Amino acid sequence: MRIVVDAMGSDKAPGPEVEGAVAASLVADVEVILVGDEAILRPALEQFPQRGAISIEHAAQHISMGDLPMVAVRQKKDNSLLVGLRLVKAGKADGFVSAGNTGAVMLSARVVLGPIFGVARSAICQVLPTARKPVVVLDLGANVNCTADQLCEFAEMGQVFSRLTLDVAQPRVGLLSIGEEEGKGTEITRKVNRNLTTAAHINFIGNVEPKAIFEGKADVVVCDGFTGNVFLKTSEAVALLIKTLTGRHIRSTLISAVGGLLSSGALRRLKKTTDPNEQPGAPLLGVDGIVIIQHGSATALGIKNAILGARREMDLGLVEHIRKGIEDLRSAIPPGGNGR
């Protein structure tokens, strides 16, 4: 299986991409194609004489974090995102990973791979820890504004992803809102609530508040990209605050320091649970191909896990399952249905 890595995307590119690709190639049956400036990538790769199947595809340009996605994609025709995605489109690779400009990744994937038939908007999806078991949340930033139709599509894609990757037989799907009552929220969220209630194949549990997410009351939570991105970044900030305060209190007294040493194993396990580099990236659901987005500050471990995540999604046939799920959604909530 061949996975393309945009080797020029992250904040510290190409270091994490090259090292992560090497790590993945040594633990899995996967060929990694690094896309970027060969004059930069070749010396970086040669620092790792022990490696699996890794090749380089030259791309003369790259899109930086500061570039405007639409302008950059139009003007930089030979950038590493487009070159890599074209390999997937042509069948020369099976999946794509990037820790680059998120907007440019989404736009390029939409342009090159196209959407799955019946999907109006793609969505960024991520698995987050809760008090019980992991929860799938989408959209986390691909779409600022969403229609009721699009949010219903996110619910369908989210439940398919949960079933396949987390082995949840009947995922409980919740709609993020300001209250659990059916009438709470905007007109759009009320429409989504009515629509999903009528879709018998979706285990819709109604509106959920943010606290319910961390309590593990839902397996899939749906929201628009603006709300989801604010929720995600707030959650990350709170996790960092807790880590900072915990460290400060552990160092405050001798007794606390001893207690900190005794609990160091538990703290390491907690860090592993909340560290995004320990996760297989954020899939871009709805495009006709496997696309994984990693954080711009991703480490080599984060890139390695994203590559392995892309391989697993390909093995599971995620795109085909989403395609079938969208067909089921259209049968359950046809155009002109309740609240649409």
pLDDT greater than 60 at residue 237: yes
Q: Is residue 334 part of a domain?
A: no
pLDDT tops 80 at residue 105: yes
The whole-number average pLDDT for the span 41-67 is 95
Give yes or no: residues 83 and 23 share one domain: yes
The answer to whether residue 67 scores a pLDDT higher than 70 is yes
- For residues 33 and 84, the answer to whether their CB atoms sit within 8 Å is yes
Q: Is residue 6 part of a domain?
A: yes
Share of the chain above pLDDT 70, in %: 89
CATH number for the domain spanning 30: value is 3.40.718.10
SS3 string of the chain?
CEEEEECCCCCCCCHHHHHHHHHHHHHCCCEEEEEECHHHHHHHHHCCCCCCCEEEEECCECCCCCCCHHHHHHHCCCEHHHHHHHHHHCCCCCEEEECCCHHHHHHHHHHHCCECCCCCCCEEEEEECCCCCCEEEECCCCCCCCCHHHHHHHHHHHHHHHHHHHCCCCCEEEEECCCCCCCCCCHHHHHHHHHHHHCCCCEEEEEECHHHHHCCCCCEEECCHHHHHHHHHHHHHHHHHHHHHHHHHHCCCHHHHHHHHHCHHHHHHHHHHHCHHHCCCEEEECECCEEEECCCCCCHHHHHHHHHHHHHHHHHCHHHHHHHHHHHHHHHCCCCCCCC
Tell me the mean pLDDT in the region 306-316.
Answer: 96
Q: Do 114 and 129 share a domain, yes or no? A: no
293 plus 259 within the same structural domain: no
Are residues 15 and 61 both part of a single domain? Answer: yes
Q: Quick one: 151 and 236 in the same domain?
A: yes
Q: Given this model, what pLDDT does residue 260 score? A: 44
Q: Which residues are 222's β-sheet partners?
A: 138, 175
Position 142 in a domain: yes
Position 252 scores a pLDDT of 62
pLDDT tens, residue by residue, 140-178: 988 888 999 999 999 999 999 999 999 999 999 999 998
Query: Minimal CA–CA distance to 288: which of 112, 166, 126?
Result: 112
What's the number of domains the chain is made of? 2
Q: What percent of the chain has pLDDT over 90?
A: 71
Same domain flag for 96 and 221: no
Whether residue 178 lies inside any domain: the answer is: yes
Task: Give the mean pLDDT of 228-232.
Answer: 85
CB 228 within 8 A of CB 139: yes
Do 132 and 149 have their domain in common?
yes
Identify any residues that bridge with 290 across adjacent strands, giving them in sequence order: 95
Q: 38 pLDDT band (50/70/90 cuts)?
A: very high
Average pLDDT of every residue of the chain: 88
Q: Is the same domain home to 107 and 136? A: no
What is the span of the domain harbouring residue 145?
125-275
Position 273 pLDDT exceeds 80: no
Place of tokens 């989801």: 228
Tell me what pLDDT residue 121 has.
Answer: 93
Q: Which residue has the higher pLDDT, 243 or 259?
A: 243
